[in-house]
């Protein structure tokens, strides 16, 4: 009986996915992996990868523009480059979560001499990125098919250090709970170089919005919050004990040493997305013992 119920729920999820996708474009591929239901949807302007679960379908995880494939299509992906305001020339980069590979590919184009490691737990996501989104690995861009927290621990044991860490690992619901705790973030902090920066993609619509913020503050001491026009929030922090002066960030954006327009990033516009603190210090810190990720997007 349980098996029949699971089959029916899976069929229902697929039907909802198909209905929504057809409203916006044409489904060109679907795949049920060990971790999620993956879809590739095409319309006249772009190709997008989306994840779905039995409970709900989320918006696109990654998109590629047909006419300008080298440019980042989604606003949140462009906003993740806010961390470059603190470290404009990273030499070693770590990205947790691949999606369609748009962010690591853009970083690779901007910094061809940098080494980029990507941790992606789902081989099916890697396959889709390569087959449909023209994602390619190279000597300087390496994908490790493993859980991001496992990778971080292995990297620390090897003595690796990164100048830029981007946390963008999502399942179909939200960030996996073990990748949003104080303990994990403290491990990431130890992986940063002296001038290293950490960037995290989160949401601005969340029942634990404040908890996420104070958790990053507990691990790093301070954070900067950048809000996009949608429901994404980008958290930026660093190994340095004090946050940079906001005026310095604006000045750096005005004379940024790398041309980011080639990948569709307006770094001045990005700097202007910096927002004042809007969370309470009384929010509860997320830990390995307390990380109710099911609440973060309003789930019951």
Average pLDDT over residues 229-254: 94
Q: In the chain, what is the greatest distance between 2 CA atoms, to the nearest angstrom?
A: 64
Residue 241 lies in a domain: yes
Q: What is the CATH number of the domain that holds 192?
A: 3.40.50.150
Question: Do both 277 and 228 map to the same domain?
Answer: yes
Residue 139 lies in a domain: yes
Does the pLDDT of residue 300 top 90, yes or no?
no
Alpha carbon dihedral 215, 221, 226, 230, in 10-degree steps, equals 0
Q: Are 144 and 61 in contact (CB under 8 A)?
A: no
pLDDT tier at 264, thresholds 50, 70, 90? very high
Task: Kindly list the distances between the CA atom of residue 250 and the CA atoms of 211, 246, 255, in Å, as whole numbers in the listed order.
Answer: 28, 6, 9
For residue 172, give the nearest of 286, 282, 13 by alpha carbon.
13
pLDDT tier at 61, thresholds 50, 70, 90? confident
Could you give the number of structural domains in the chain? 2
Question: Do both 32 and 145 map to the same domain?
Answer: no
Question: Do both 169 and 242 map to the same domain?
Answer: yes
| pLDDT reported for residue 104 | 98
Q: Give the global pTM.
A: 0.88
Residue 12 lies in a domain: no
Residue 223 lies in a domain: yes
Quick one: how many helices (H) and strands (E) in the chain? 9, 12
Question: Do both 44 and 85 map to the same domain?
Answer: no
Question: Do both 82 and 52 map to the same domain?
Answer: no
Question: Do both 58 and 116 map to the same domain?
Answer: no
Question: Do both 127 and 264 map to the same domain?
Answer: yes
Model confidence pLDDT, tens digit, residues 120-163: 999 999 999 999 999 999 999 999 999 999 999 999 999 999 99
Name the region of 60 (left: φ>0; alpha: ψ -120 to 50; beta: rest). beta
Does the pLDDT of residue 171 top 50, yes or no?
yes
User: Final residue of a domain: which of 42, 65, 88?
Assistant: 65
Q: Please tell me the distance from the alpha carbon of residue 48 to that of residue 270, in angstroms, as a whole number.
A: 23
Question: Do both 210 and 284 map to the same domain?
Answer: yes
| pLDDT reported for residue 298 | 45
Average pLDDT over residues 166-186: 90
The more confident residue out of 56 and 242 is 242
Question: Do both 166 and 228 map to the same domain?
Answer: yes
Catalytic (active site) residue 168: yes
Question: Do both 283 and 170 map to the same domain?
Answer: yes
Question: Do both 286 and 218 map to the same domain?
Answer: yes
Which residues form the domain of 286? 75-291
Does the pLDDT of residue 46 top 90, yes or no?
yes
Name the active-site residue from 43, 168, 231, 288: 168
Residue 1 lies in a domain: no
| pLDDT reported for residue 33 | 92
| pLDDT reported for residue 207 | 84
| pLDDT reported for residue 230 | 82
Q: Are 212 and 297 in contact (CB under 8 A)?
A: no
H helix runs in 93-240, sequence order = 102-110, 123-132, 148-158, 182-191, 209-220
For residue 294, give the nearest of 169, 199, 206, 218 by alpha carbon.
206
Model confidence pLDDT, tens digit, residues 183-240: 999 999 999 999 999 999 998 888 889 999 999 999 999 999 999 888 899 999 999 9
């Amino acid at each position: 009986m349980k098996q029949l119920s699971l089959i029916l729920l899976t069929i229902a999820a697929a039907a909802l996915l198909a209905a929504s996708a057809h409203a916006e474009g044409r489904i060109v591929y679907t795949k049920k992996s060990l971790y999620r239901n993956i879809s590739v949807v095409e319309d006249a302007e772009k190709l997008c990868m989306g994840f779905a679960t039995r409970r709900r379908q989320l918006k696109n995880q990654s998109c590629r523009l047909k006419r300008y494939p080298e440019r980042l299509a989604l606003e949140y992906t462009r906003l993740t480059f806010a961390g470059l305001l603190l470290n404009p020339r990273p030499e070693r980069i770590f990205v947790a979560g691949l999606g369609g590979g748009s962010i690591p590919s853009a970083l690779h184009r901007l910094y061809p001499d940098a080494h980029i490691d990507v941790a992606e737990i789902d081989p099916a996501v890697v396959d889709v990125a390569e087959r449909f989104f023209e994602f390619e690995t190279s000597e300087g861009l390496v994908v490790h098919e493993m859980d991001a927290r496992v990778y971080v621990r292995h990297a620390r044991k090897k003595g690796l250090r990164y100048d830029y860490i981007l946390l963008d690992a999502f399942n179909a619901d939200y960030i996996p709970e073990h990748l949003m705790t104080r303990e994990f973030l403290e491990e990431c902090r130890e992986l940063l170089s002296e001038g290293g920066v950490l960037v995290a993609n989160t949401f601005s619509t969340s029942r634990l919005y404040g908890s996420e913020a104070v958790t990053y503050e507990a691990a790093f001491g301070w954070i900067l919050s950048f809000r996009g026009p949608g429901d994404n929030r980008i958290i930026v922090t660093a190994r340095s004990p004090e946050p940079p002066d906001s005026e310095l960030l604006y000045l750096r954006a005005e004379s940024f040493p790398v041309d980011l327009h080639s990948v569709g990033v307006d770094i001045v516009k990005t700097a202007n997305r910096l927002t004042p603190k809007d969370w309470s210090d009384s929010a509860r810190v997320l830990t390995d013992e307390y990380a109710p990720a099911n609440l973060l997007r309003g789930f019951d």
